[in-house]
Structure 1
Amino acid sequence: MSLAYLVGLLLATLGVGAIDARWRLALFREPLRAIGAVGGTAAVLLIIDLAGIATGNFRLGASPWMTGVEVLPHLPIEELGFIVFLAYVSLVALAGAERILDRRAGAAV
């Protein structure tokens, strides 16, 4: 059992959180909206994962980097962490791109 992948996801999420905090892009700008957006996106991604597992398209592979803990059959705990990370990094990237585009539009006027 290894915690490497889970710890890596946590560190990456903390890094995105630091970027978010520095420029107040999502969670540090409007916390309730950001939590709702991340939660909603994560729920949709989880439903897609569960559908893939149910149809046999997604299966649990062996990896020395994972804990081996499954929340459901073929759904490792790391997948939940990845889903939340993916939703959060997407929100921060979108908010950052929006801010850059808004500033460029304001400078062009």
Structure 2
Amino acid sequence: MSYLLILLLLLVCMALLDARWKLFLFARPGPAAAVLLLGTVFFLAWDISALAAGIFLHRQSPLMTGVMLGPGLPLEEAFFLLFLCYQTMILFTGAVRLLRLRERLAGGRGPQ
């Protein structure tokens, strides 16, 4: 259960950063939600394929809820993948914003 609570806390932290700077979901909610959904589904499909091929294995842990979405696929994995996709988009949009700001600031200077 601890792992799920940590993941939920991290998702809240990402949402707070997003809300403050309007980087992703708070900038364009519809397209951003679609990207998060598609990314999470893509990585869940990847995990399912890897589980079927015997590449990934699930082991019980007292830190997890024990709720399984499928054979070898714990509930926490879906939240981890959602967090991973959200974090990636926050980092990407934040980096793009910083690079644009840097270009604007550098554009006002003459050659050095």
2-side partners of 1:37 and 1:71: how far apart?
22
Q: Counterparts of 1:1-80 in structure 2 under 5 Å?
A: 3-80=1-78
What is the SS of the residue equivalent to 1:64? coil
1-side partners of 2:80 and 2:30: how far apart?
21
Identity of aligned residues (%): 37
* Structure 2 unaligned blocks of 5 or more: 108-112
2-side partners of 1:108 and 1:40: how far apart?
36
| 1:59 Cα offset (Å) | 1.2
Instruction: Give the TM-score taking structure 1 as reference length.
Output: 0.95
2-side partners of 1:28 and 1:62: how far apart?
36
Please tell me whether Structure 1 or Structure 2 has the larger radius of gyration of its CA atoms.
Answer: 2
Aligned residues: 107
Deviations 1:13-37 (A, max 9, x none): 0001000000000011000111011
Instruction: Give the TM-score taking structure 2 as reference length.
Output: 0.93
* Structure 1 unaligned blocks of 5 or more: none
2-side partners of 1:89 and 1:58: how far apart?
23
